[in-house]
Structure 1
Amino acid sequence: MTGTAAPARFQLFPLQVVRAARITPHMARITLGGGGLTGFVNGGLDQRIKLLLPQPGQSEPLTPPGDGEFGWYRTWRGMDPAVRPVLRTYTVREQRHDPDEIDLDIVVHGEAGGPGSRWALTAAPGDRVIVCGPAVEEAGGVEFRLPAGADWVLLAADEAALPAVAAILAELPAGLPVRVFAEVEEPGEEAYLAGPADRPGLGVTWLYRSKGAPTLPEAVRAAELPAGEPYAWIAGEAASVRELRRHLVGERGTDRRAVCFMGYWRAGRTEDQRADDGPQDEED
């Protein structure tokens, strides 16, 4: 008897920029659509995707050929870095239908920022990109898994992970207490969580690097947190995330199974460089 191959969990979706807008001084919202989203299945919460961007001088990113679900990625790693697509990971902030669209919120740092930031600054309707995203239910790329017995939720993130924080807040039960610690470059980014901030039981602490505020781990270490069993979701710069996880597990006695942690970026290394380095172990 011949079996039927399971559908690929992830696929490459050729898309176009539909709209681009600055929603805070350091956050741009890029809306993608253009008919290529058929079959895209957003898992919600902190669903991540890979965005393939064209190199300067290219009208669209080259599509890395390859067999199998991630054959394109092996091909991409072997391509000349001067011509292969720029690869970045982002959170799906929202998905809509009729027409099919997804929003990606991207941190921008001016011309001093990286390729993803520079692209977001100049993105215009019609610009072509490729998204590697989920094509079936429960495909993967969603790390936030709220345990049934959690009494409250801790969300600790820098600006790179704020889109995931906003998407998570939009789906949490309304009565569940939530503490958010958000580390950003400077004041002015608070509007990004203005909508979710209206929910009852939510406390948000903003930390500003340019004003000499405590770091993310320092702020959580000094905070008086709610009683009961927490579920912690931590994302941002890898070293900061590891330090905060050690504090929660080692100093506060949080069950390590109730701490979800992701290094969204690594100081001094771009995503392309990390991919060329091979797999990185973010565990202690």
Structure 2
Amino acid sequence: MIPKVRRAKTRKMITLEVLANTAPSPAFRTVTLGGPELAEFEPAGDDQAVRLFFPRAGQDGLRMPTRDNEGWMAEVLLMPKSRRPWVRNYTIRRSRPGEIDIEFALHDGDAPAAEWARRARPGDPAGVFDLGVSYLPPAGVAWQLLAADESALPAVLAILEGAPADLVAEVFLEVPAQSDIREVEAPAGVRVHWLPRLRPARPGALALQAVRDADLPPGRAYAWVAGEAALATGVRRHLVRDRGWPKSGIAFLGYWRHGRASPG
């Protein structure tokens, strides 16, 4: 799943440090990063994503790659594991002068990013490399469909907070529990459907079924769907096969796969 992406003309490896660590709800942590090098970072809003670099447990610091292009991947892989950082993709939840927030869904198990987010303290090092924006609605659509599980919740909330006042949208947000439902800043034409999992289930399945069952508005539309891979591909398949949507009107991103660890 390689979506269209809008990126800044120039991108740099940016080394930052943790400024704060808060919990917006039981299943999430928000880590605020900042530092002088953030002046080199260009906030783009919406679902702007970054490669997040953070130390492995037991490392005495963060070794960032030096290449400001995709050659950084080979550079990291050539590092011995004792020095190699963890690397994961995350959305910028909010940006302010001198600060950015990154929100983590605390999946069960010992996922490295969730463990780092739980223990991150002010002064801890982290780094980012801009990946751009994939939420690119075309002009002239009558309404939008946004669907996400908890891994893509920060992206959708960022999109809604920056949305134009005339946005019309149906939004489906699956979260681990009732306690993870929040107030949403969104235009009046946006309807948000919160979908807490009330029993153990594969993440994304509830949101996929809700979209299948939904009475969606007529007219030309744009969809942005992200989260567990089966949610992203399932919604796209449903919209194309069952509702006759053109593939060009759907951006779908598999952030992760249930039961599979990310390489690193």
When normalised by structure 2's length, the TM-score is 0.90
Deviation at 1:113, TM superposition (A): 3.8
Q: Equivalent residue of 1:21, what SS?
A: strand
Q: 1:117 to 1:182 in 2, by over 3 A?
A: same
Deviation at 1:102, TM superposition (A): 0.6
Structure 2 equivalent of residue 146 of structure 1: 137
Structure 2 equivalent of residue 40 of structure 1: 41
Structure 1 equivalent of residue 184 of structure 2: 195
Residue identity opposite 2:207 in structure 1: L
Alignment of 1:151-230 (within 5 A): 151-191=142-182, 194-197=183-186, 199-211=187-199, 215-230=206-221
Q: Which moved more, 1:8-17 or 1:220-229?
A: 8-17
Q: Equivalent residue of 2:173, what SS?
A: strand
2: CA distance between counterparts of 1:17 and 1:59?
A: 15
Q: Deviations over 1:68-115 (max 9, x none)?
A: 522221111233345411111110111111xx11111111246x2411
Q: Which moved more, 1:71-80 or 1:38-47?
A: 71-80
1: CA distance between counterparts of 2:111 and 2:156?
A: 22
Q: Give percent identity, aligned residues only.
A: 40
Structure 1 equivalent of residue 4 of structure 2: none
Deviation at 1:55, TM superposition (A): 1.0
State the superposition RMSD in angstroms.
Answer: 1.9
Q: 1:252 to 1:82 in 2, by over 3 A?
A: farther
Q: Equivalent residue of 2:38, what SS?
A: coil
1: CA distance between counterparts of 2:247 and 2:16?
A: 39
2: CA distance between counterparts of 1:69 and 1:219?
A: 40
Out of 109, 118, 122, the position equivalent to 1:121 is: 118
1: CA distance between counterparts of 2:66 and 2:163?
A: 39
Deviation at 1:65, TM superposition (A): 4.3
- Residue 25 of structure 1 pairs with residue 26 of structure 2: yes
Structure 2 stretches lacking a partner, 5+ long = 1-7
Q: Deviations over 1:194-240 (max 9, x none)?
A: 1325x312211222333378622211011101121111000001122
When normalised by structure 1's length, the TM-score is 0.84
Q: Equivalent residue of 1:159, what SS?
A: coil
2: CA distance between counterparts of 1:212 and 1:34?
A: 40
Corresponding pairs, count: 254
Residue identity opposite 1:78 in structure 2: L
Structure 2 equivalent of residue 137 of structure 1: none
Structure 2 equivalent of residue 69 of structure 1: 69
Q: Equivalent residue of 1:271, what SS?
A: coil
Residue identity opposite 2:116 in structure 1: W
Residue identity opposite 2:26 in structure 1: P
Structure 1 stretches lacking a partner, 5+ long = 1-6, 134-139, 274-284
2: CA distance between counterparts of 1:264 and 1:9?
A: 24
2: CA distance between counterparts of 1:250 and 1:80?
A: 47
Q: Deviations over 1:150-208 (max 9, x none)?
A: 111110000000111011111222122111111121211111xx1325x3122112223
State the structure with more CA Rg. Answer: 1
Q: Equivalent residue of 1:233, what SS?
A: strand
- Asked whether the 8 Å contact 1:60–1:129 carries over to 2, the reply is no
- Asked whether the 8 Å contact 1:231–1:258 carries over to 2, the reply is yes
Q: Equivalent residue of 1:73, what SS?
A: helix
